[in-house]
Amino acid sequence: MTESTRNADVLIIGGGLSGTMLAVQLLRLPGRRQILVIEPRAELGRGEAYSAVELGHTLNGNAARMSVDPDNPDDLTQWLTEHIAAGGWPESAEQAVPISELFPPRGLFGVYAQQRLAEAKARSASTVEHVRAEVIDVQVDADSTLLTLDNGQRLRGNFAVLATGMFPAARTPQTHSSGVNAAAVDPWDVATMRRLDPRSTVLIIGSGLTMVDAVVSLEQAGHRGPIEIFSRHGLLPHVRRQPPAWDDFLAADPALRSPRQLLRELRRQCTIAQAQGIDWQAPLDTVRVHIGRLWSQASEREKRQFVRHVRPWWESHHHRSPPLSAQLVARLHEEGRLRIRAASFKGLVPAQSGVTIAVRQRGEQTLTQVTGAALINSSGIEYDWRRVARPLPQQLLKRGLIQPGPLALGIAADVSGAVLDAQGQVSARLFAMGPPLRGMWWESTAVTDVALQAKALASKLAAV
């Protein structure tokens, strides 16, 4: 051990929402611990998702669905009530709905997470310190974990937790061999979009929620030209509505296990709901709490079938768009300014000006070239850590400390979050939570999912 090595009880790698929620849960437990959160951003609690500053970039779930406290589902609603009463977020008055049904701006949600962290710190005998750096290497032995940071500093802890959040494909270098990310405008970079000719054509790859954010960014930047969207299946996210409660049909019938059985019964339930004049989203929303169980019970073959054949429709129906953003996309589509094509992106084409891409439209064999003034890569999240061009995933794989998760979605771990190494051995020192466990639980990115994981993992770490 060198003099520059600092010691702590728990090292949390990543200070976005996942890492912050874990820190809060550790602070709430009895005892005295030193916790270091290693995060290159200036603030904890925001990460990629909640660093947006534009009011138009909102959560895709209403306040009643987005509590960071697993013991209080109304926590965000209560915080918003106090925040709005104190004069915060005056724009919320424009939405004539109860506070529980509001879709807060992501930046405001980041403030909420930060405040809950500050409150937990003030009440705890434990300490949390933000180390502003990037972890580039991890070593694990029988007694501790050792982190190397990009500033040369080293940290040693009893445990280390990979709370890295998501690696967005739109901002991950070298995701495509064509270098698309180097040529693409960030989906949330309104300032850069303001420098475009407002009448020019903008190309967008991908049609999920990141695309919706990109369209909002363009609108706020004053763009008034055509928007061409290219997506393999040509599916747009449905708008999130607030349907009435529906009977939990999965809890009532434990024999429903396979993806095929689930889809058949879900279609039947949606048909029954619509016949009664009830929104089809009501039956769909009851599936949420069962996803982890259903995914873990599915065979490898069933999981592959789901990812290959069902995933695009699951994403568009389940990961729905906030109402105001969906209204904007719908309006631009009706006006003819926004067009979506079912086409696969095949690479960049050298061009004298603007950006030219090659796509293959569904049902065609030949490639088509399309030119625009700018390109936005909204192709989603990179879950395969073998393809993430960041030092930490590469070093973990090189050292054999991790292995890809099921279907190469995230990394492998046991049910407690203890990471599996390349030989399948369960680590006693290295853990993971949140999006890195996508392959284990399928849905491991939503706030409520991560909040539950944070509470369970904090209890495990405190008990060891």
- Answer whether residue 70 shows pLDDT above 50: yes
Q: Which pLDDT band, with edges at 50, 70 and 90, does 132 fall under?
A: very high
Q: What is the pLDDT of residue 182?
A: 64
Q: Do domains 5-167+383-463 and 170-238+320-377 have the same CATH topology?
A: yes
Q: What is the pLDDT of residue 292?
A: 86
What b/e sequence results for 8-18 when a residue is b if at least 16 CB atoms lie within 10 Å of its CB, and e otherwise? bbbbbbbbbbb
Q: Which pLDDT band, with edges at 50, 70 and 90, does 353 fall under?
A: confident
Distance, in Å, from the CA atom of 196 to the CA atom of 199, rounded to the nearest integer, reads 8
For the domain made up of 170-238+320-377, give the CATH fold: FAD/NAD(P)-binding domain (3.50.50)
Cα–Cα distance list, 415 to 108, 297, 404, 432, 457 (Å) = 32, 13, 15, 10, 10
Distance, in Å, from the CA atom of 101 to the CA atom of 63, rounded to the nearest integer, reads 6
Q: Is the pTM of this model over 0.85?
A: yes
pLDDT one-digit tens code per residue, 379-403: 878 899 999 989 999 999 999 999 9
> Is domain 5-167+383-463 classified as CATH 3.90.1150.10?
no
- Please report, as a single letter, which amino acid is at residue 398: K
The three-class DSSP label of residue 248 is coil
**Across the chain, what does the average pLDDT equal?**
92
- Answer whether residue 253 shows pLDDT above 60: yes
Q: What is the pLDDT of residue 104?
A: 96
Mean pLDDT of 290-298: 87
List the domain boundaries for the chain: 5-167+383-463, 170-238+320-377, 249-318
